[in-house]
A = this chain, B = another copy of it.
Amino acid sequence: MNERKALDTAKIEQIQRDRKEAHKFFTDKSKVYRIFTELEEKTFQDGSLSKKHKELIAVGISLVNSCESCLEWHIKQALDAGATLEEVIEALEVGLEMGIGPTTVTNRFAMKVLKHYLGDNI
């Protein structure tokens, strides 16, 4: 059990390191990437919708896209912006409704991210 927990943590930390390293690499080498960074920043600013609700939209899309790294990022951003566990679960439910089969697989990683940030006893 503890060994599995360590594996899950290692996977999440590897995603975080890879993200950081690639961000530096492409910021240095690609002007298109640099514009994307600005686009991303503007997308998730508070607007008519709050950052929290925008991040929950992104959580639903990440699930449908089977993108584990996106899930790791947007669940964390949603939590930091004040989303509760229940709100994240309901965003995942919308994703499940719209892409059933494969989303139940990607949901497993969403669970791990939630436990990583909110503790195992949620």
Binding site for B on A (CB under 8 A): 4, 7, 14, 17-19, 21-22, 25-26, 29-33, 35-36, 38-40, 42-44, 47-49, 53-54, 56-62, 64-67, 69-70, 84, 86-87, 89-102, 104-105, 107-108, 111
Return 28 A-B CB contacts under 8 Å, by A number: A21-B108, A22-B104, A30-B89, A30-B92, A30-B93, A30-B96, A32-B43, A33-B96, A33-B104, A35-B42, A36-B39, A39-B39, A43-B94, A49-B87, A54-B90, A54-B94, A58-B60, A58-B94, A61-B64, A61-B98, A64-B101, A65-B102, A69-B105, A70-B105, A99-B99, A99-B100, A99-B102, A100-B100
CA–CA, A54 and B92, complex, Å: 10
Q: In the docked arrangement, what's the CA distance between A91 and B4, Å? A: 34
Which residue of B43, B54, B62, B102 is within 8 Å of A67 (Cβ)?
B102
- CA gap between A62 and B105 in the complex, in Å: 11
Distance, CA A71 to CA B31, complexed state (A): 21
Known contacts A32-B43, A39-B39: A57-B100 contact under CB 8 Å: no
In the complex, what's the smallest C-beta–C-beta distance from A80 to chain B, in angstroms? Answer: 17
Does the CB pair B49–A42 fall under 8 Å?
no
